[in-house]
Amino acid sequence: MSSLIRLDKTNLDMEHICCAMSDKKAAEGVQLKKDWLRCRFDEGLTFRKLDARGKVFIEYIPAEYAWVPVEAEGYMYINCLWVAGSFKGQGYGRSLLDACMSDSKNKHGLITISSKSKKPYLSDKKFLLKQGFETVDTAPPYFELMVKRLGEGGPVPRFKECAKQSRLEADLHDGLVVCYTSQCPFTEYYANQELEEIGREYGIPVKSIRLASREEAQNAPAAWTTYSAYYNGTFITHEILNRAKFSAWMKKRV
């Protein structure tokens, strides 16, 4: 089994960040992601990945600094845990989680966001349950906050009330609106260029809003802040939209 390496300010520019190794559309997003990581390292963010060219990594940060609307003081928040392709079924997911637990010995536990049924970009609930996680809170339409306790005591983590609104402010109710952060290298392209194409094709207003601070993300109106799409003010999906996906969604509305 290949070893895990940890990204930091000394090797960040030389290493790939796993999920966007060969996608030219994500080139700008990769740089924005690395800039985002560089700023988060001083807040305690850890990014570990397999020492191989593959999508095998985990990213976590003390929950007080997480860019999500949760209340979980004293916990470690897992931004992303991903094992893809031929690397599945070899114990890498458990190894990455073990590394996170080792770095969280002084925490009440680990938390992450999953979903009732398996969905892209969210950690698999079945895997998390096998690793000792349990659901402690929910937010519409399908988000679940899951925790793995590492000791006795500590507050019960929960979503902030704003995460349960699933609606935008009244002045942002027209058309398709995407709120996103630079935490994912794919969001920049799809929240801008692809969004404009959707607007032209369907003749609807479109708007992208990049959440540029932790405070903005922690007060977002949906549980998942990496990418959230709203139509006429109402949350529709956390999955990154392209024209085909939006077309499929529009057909379901009819």
Provide φ and ψ at 136, rounded to 5°: -120, -10
% of the chain at pLDDT higher than 70: 97
Edge-to-edge strand list for the sheet holding 143-149? 4-7, 46-50, 56-62, 75-83, 109-115, 143-149, 134-139
Q: Where are any strands of DSSP class E within the chain?
A: 4-7, 46-50, 56-62, 70-71, 75-83, 109-115, 134-139, 143-149, 158-159, 176-180, 206-210, 227-231, 234-237
Task: Report pLDDT for 162.
Answer: 97
Would you say residue 81 has pLDDT above 60?
yes
Place of tokens 């085909």: 244
Q: pTM for the whole thing?
A: 0.94
Average pLDDT value for residue range 23-47: 92
Task: Report pLDDT for 236.
Answer: 96
* Whole-angstrom Cα Rg for the chain: 18
**Cα(97)–Cα(161) distance, integer angstroms:** 29
Task: Report pLDDT for 234.
Answer: 94
Would you say residue 21 has pLDDT above 70?
no
- Per DSSP, what are the bridge partners of residue 108? none
Mean pLDDT of the chain, nearest integer:
93
Report pLDDT digits (tens) over 210-245.
999 999 999 999 999 999 999 999 999 999 999 999
Residue 14 tokens, joined? 């030389």
Task: Report pLDDT for 22.
Answer: 63
Task: Report pLDDT for 24.
Answer: 77
Closest of 71, 88, 67 to residue 184, by C-alpha: 67
